[in-house]
Amino acid sequence: MTPTPHVHRLRVYYEDTDAAGVVYYANYLKFAERARTEMLRAAGVEQRALASDQGVSFRVQDCRIEYREPALLDDEIEVRSHLTALAGARLEAEQEVLRGDAMLARLEVRLACVGAGGRPTRLPPDLRRALAPYCRTKD
């Protein structure tokens, strides 16, 4: 069974754009980060509690973005997120930024799970279980 992606909807504001009303390229990283945070929340995971109770947080190790079409001022867009790996001390995600049926950008993100001092640590079992509904294997 293929899991349903987590969907985070947002509107493009003036502050997200350049002088021509086009979303500044780095803001896609912000949109994707917010979507991953909301996916964690939907799974019942609060990052602040994860850090304070279990000493665990995430660090981006690698990110690849393919830009296809620009998002524009006032567009309603959505970020669809799937996890593609929950292994050891890492999470991998594929995220798509869409306006309707048009794909604007596609991201592949690899995150490290880290503990005290920023050292890699295995994903806690309860976190792995909470995120499993959003995980699919890579094609």
Q: Binning pLDDT at 50, 70 and 90, where does residue 3 land?
A: confident
137 inside domain? no
Angle at 29 between CA 28 and CA 35, to 5 degrees: 90
Q: Which tokens belong to 53?
A: 């109770």
Q: Is the pLDDT of residue 139 over 50?
A: no
Are the C-beta atoms of 6 and 80 separated by less than 8 Å? yes
51 inside domain? yes
CATH of the domain at 90: 3.10.129.10
Q: How much is the average pLDDT of 98-120?
A: 95
138 inside domain? no
How many distinct structural domains can be found in the chain?
1
pLDDT digit string (tens) for 46-103? 999 999 999 999 999 999 999 999 999 999 999 999 999 999 999 999 999 999 999 9
Is 18 known to be catalytic? yes
56 inside domain? yes
CB atoms within 10 A of CB 129: 13
pLDDT digit string (tens) for 9-24? 999 999 999 999 999 9
139 inside domain? no
Q: Is the pLDDT of residue 1 over 60?
A: no
> Domain containing 46: what range?
6-132
